[in-house]
Structure 1
């Protein structure tokens, strides 16, 4: 599977806060587990974190760990 990377338009806005991407330090995120889809752009890591938190995107997506077991996924 290959993915091409393209620079977003100069007026592209952050998916979380709506700020212009290039007024900040933009981040491109793409879910490549299912056909890669379109990229989602965030103006910086704080907006990416807030978007993930607000949409509960980490719930159920991590391995469990305890000191008595080796991690399991």
Structure 2
């Protein structure tokens, strides 16, 4: 799945806290299960983490691991 990378606007704000992303350590995320649409920007990993938790985005999206199993995916 090919995507193009473009630098966000200088005044781009965080999808979670609305702070300017370039005032911090920006993180860019794309939903590539849905045609790799427009990126969503977060000012740091903490905002991304809270956003994931609050929106239950990790539920059902992780592999299950067992020390007795053959592997994850």
TM-score normalized with structure 1 length: 0.87
Determine which structure has the larger strand proportion and give its number. Answer: 1
CA distance in 2 between counterparts of 1:3 and 1:72 reads: 27
**Contact 1:27-1:43 at 8 Å conserved across structures:** yes
CA distance in 1 between counterparts of 2:72 and 2:8 reads: 38
Other-structure match for 1:66: 66
> Runs of 4+ in structure 1 displaced over 2 angstroms?
65-73
Number of residue-to-residue matches in the alignment? 73
Q: Secondary structure at the match of 1:8?
A: coil
Moved more, 42-51 or 31-40: 31-40
What is the aligned-residue RMSD (CA, Å)? 1.4
